[in-house]
Amino acid sequence: MADIRAMADQVRSMGKELGFSFVGFARAGLLEEEARRLEKWLNAGYHGRMGYMENHFEKRIDPTELVPGARTVVCLMYNYYTEREQEDPESPKLSKYAYGQDYHKVIKEKLHQLLDQMRIRFGDIQGRCFVDSAPVMERDWARYAGLGWPGKNTLLIHPRAGSYFFLAELIIDLDLEPDEPMRDYCGTCTRCIDACPTEAISSQGYLVDGSKCISYLTIELREEIPDQFAGKMDNWMFGCDVCQEVCPWNRFSKKHSEPAFEPPDELMTMQKREWIEITEDVFNALFKHSAVKRTKYQGLKRNIKFLQ
């Protein structure tokens, strides 16, 4: 026990040296309760047109299907919060997570560095790195690893730091001392439920109809945005931060220290008219290294037009 505890402490220290705010550990195994919940969510059609959510069900609920012999899920949180805002209050809005460079690439590189360091320290380790790009139930694993609880908006909330974090995982065949899950501290608060512009969050909370979520409508949906959402988009052209902006726990959010997540000045100073008239060349230059590329030029133009 002392060895797996000492190793866990070393991994936690290495992770923080690489910029991760919090590191926790969960015992790899089948997520039975979560599997039933996911199946119910899919059957209700809450995933909208995200057909990929139906794929690889067994891999989503069992990390040993992704990494044979997996013993531990290392869960990590990387802060992206900034107080910076787009300067023109009438400009269509971007979610804060998309201000800087694509987090997938930035964090994936750090995960590989961490895994390399662990192999140097502990010997041959079989494992894989994940950053929101594979069938991993990251919020559930982060809860089991003691990094927070899924709030009523279903985002992971840390009681000392809020929810403006990217989640990442290492699934490895090394035994490390697991952490204890964290209890729920949402209490009777319903601010996220009350504030959601499209009423995507269930009235009881802890359930989101993804097909109504502004992030889904502006990023995942490839078709035209349904007319039922006209006038309800709160001027968001890519993603949405409303349920985070109103969450009381985000009063504890602190500015990130990752240079790659700093937004270019030209992004923050663009005026409403410039967004409406944005060309493909400007789009490509502005979002060359950004997660906004996912929606593509035509997708962003569609979103901006829908807001008018």
Active site residues: 132
Phi, psi of 242 (to 5 degrees): -55, -50
Query: Taking the chain, what is the end-to-end CA distance rounded to the nearest angstrom?
Result: 60
Give the Cα-Cα-Cα angle 145, 208, 220 (nearest 5 degrees).
95
Q: Residue by residue, what is the 3-state secondary structure of the chain?
A: CHHHHHHHHHHHHHHHHCCCCEEEEEECCCCHHHHHHHHHHHHCCCCCCCHHHHCCHHHHHCHHHCCCCCCEEEEEEEECCCCCCCCCCCCCEECHHHCCCCHHHHHHHHHHHHHHHHHHHHCCCCEEEECCCCCCCHHHHHHHCCCCEECCCCCEEECCCECCEEEEEEEECCCCCCCCCCCCCCCCCCHHHHHCCCCCECCCCCCECHHHCHHHHHHHCCCCCCHHHCCCCCCEEECCCHHHHCCHHHHHCCCCCCHHHCCCHHHHHCCHHHHHCCCHHHHHHHCCCCHHHHHHHHHHHHHHHHHC
Question: How far is it, in rounded angstroms, from Cα 307 to Cα 276?
Answer: 10
Check if the beta carbon of residue 39 is closer than 8 Å to that of residue 142: no
